[in-house]
Structures are given as C-alpha cells and as structure tokens.
Chains A and B, each alone.
Chain A
Amino acid sequence: QKEVEQNSGPLSVPEGAIASLNCTYSDRGSQSFFWYRQYSGKSPELIMSIYSNGDKEDGRFTAQLNKASQYVSLLIRDSQPSDSATYLCAVTIGPNTGNQFYFGTGTSLTVIP
C-alpha cells in the first residue's frame, strides 16, 4: 500500500472560519491528486482534483499542491455545518492502463454552528 498520510483529527472549526486539511504522500511517481468528502454512511464523493503545482480554486474550496514537498492541502473557506464530514486525500500512481487510486486515512471535520 502506497503511503498517503493525513491527520486523522477530529478537526473542529466554528461556522464561517477557514478549515485547513493537509496530506502528504511518499511516492514521487504520484501523478494526480484528489480530495474526496465522505458523509457518515455514504460513499466518498469527489470535491477537488489537482494535477500541477500551485493553487486551484472551486467555489469555497482551494486545493494546493507542492510536488517538491510531496504535499497537498485543501482549504475550505466560510465553513458551513454541512461541510462536517470525513475528508479523504487520494493520489494516483501507475501506468496509464488503469491508474491506481490510493487514499489517506481521512480527516474528520466538524463545523460548529
């Protein structure tokens, strides 16, 4: 299993604050990077993907990638109670014939109203 590390949390932030989630990965051959959100009892759903160094913004979400430091992060601005979930970092490793998605251990986020 390729290593993808996240702080397990729980991370608690007040409503309206910025939530910052971090992820590191061990395989320098990692090619693509994703953040998934998983509500309790549900399957993971993709919220952000990033492929090159720098920032990528989508609404209240910003993903940041630093391949030199093997680090990817997710910022959630103006956090809402509906953002309370487990956030999973994922990376793909492998040849183009079926990229392999490896997940981190997940960070539990609670947004306090």
Chain B
Amino acid sequence: DTAVSQTPKYLVTQMGNDKSIKCEQNLGHDTMYWYKQDSKKFLKIMFSYNNKELIINETVPNRFSPKSPDKAHLNLHINSLELGDSAVYFCASSQVPLKGRSNEKLFFGSGTQLSVL
C-alpha cells in the first residue's frame, strides 16, 4: 500500500487553465503539506494543514487554493496557470510523536510534474 499517493503524476496544460492535484495519505497522520520543487531542486513549503486546518501559507499566490476535506486528504487547486507554475509538486505528511522526537519524519508522495505551455 502506498503511504502518500498523489495524482496525476504528470500534468501538461496551457496557460490560463485551471487544474487540480489530489493527495491522500493512509498513515493516519495529522499534518499534510504541499511543497513546490523548482528546476534547481529547491523544495519550498507552500501550505501546511493540521487536522484539516491551515497552519502555514508561505506567500503563495491566491491562485493556489488547498482543500482538506478530511485529515487524510489535501488537494491543491490552481487557477489561471502561469508559465512560472511549472515545477514538481510534492504532497507530504507527518505525525508529531506523542513522546520525544525519535520517529518524527516527513513522508513524501511521488510528485506531480506540472508543465505549463
């Protein structure tokens, strides 16, 4: 069973279109994230949700709207796509351990390569 699954794996679209990326985790984690990785491999946090509530929105344009219907799902909708949105988008999840930090870990999905033409 895949722990963090995101779809689609590849997304090719025209400028101005609206698209969505879906993410699901079956690990029972409370926290989910969206990261954007550019061509230089910089992995930038976009959003963080804890138990369906937005924790972080790191200066992301409001064309990007995350939606968390339950704590196992965090989808990303992008309006009016621009060339600069081309990147790999990773969904991830984590669980703060009840005691100590020995098992704190970020689990990644396989990524969605978005190409805006």
Q: Does B109 contact A (CB under 8 A)?
A: yes
Which of A8, A49, A98 sits near B96, CB closer than 8 Å?
A98
Residue of B nearest to A31 (CB): B101
B31→A98 contact, CB < 8 A: yes
B90→A97 contact, CB < 8 A: no
Distance between Cα atoms of A106 and B40 in the complex (Å): 8
Question: Count the B residues whose beta carbon is within 8 Å of the partner chain — how many?
Answer: 30
Q: B-facing mask of A53-89, CB < 8 A → 1, else 0? A: 0000000000000000000000000000000001010
- CB contact list, A90-109 vs B, under 8 A: 90, 92, 94, 96-103, 105-106, 108
Distance between Cα atoms of A98 and B41 in the complex (Å): 24
Question: Which stretch of B16-24, B42-50, B74-82 is in the interface?
Answer: B42-50
Which of B45, B92, B96, B101 sits near A102, CB closer than 8 Å?
B45
| Count, A-B residue pairs, CB within 8 A | 75
Distance between Cα atoms of A34 and B102 in the complex (Å): 12
B104→A99 contact, CB < 8 A: yes
- Of the candidates A38, A46, A98, the one having the most CB atoms from chain B within 10 angstroms of its own CB is A98
Residue of A nearest to B31 (CB): A98
A43→B111 contact, CB < 8 A: yes
- Of the candidates A31, A49, A103, the one having the most CB atoms from chain B within 10 angstroms of its own CB is A103
B55→A98 contact, CB < 8 A: yes
- CB contact list, B61-117 vs A, under 8 A: 90, 92, 94, 96, 101-102, 104-106, 108-111
B105→A46 contact, CB < 8 A: yes
Task: State how many angstroms separate the Cβ of A30 from the closest Cβ of chain B.
Answer: 12
A105→B111 contact, CB < 8 A: no
Whether A38 contacts B41 in the complex (CB less than 8 A), given A43-B110, A44-B108, comes out as yes
Q: Could you tell me which A residues sit within 8 Å of B by CB distance?
A: 1, 8, 31-32, 34, 38, 42-46, 49, 51, 86, 88, 90, 92, 94, 96-103, 105-106, 108
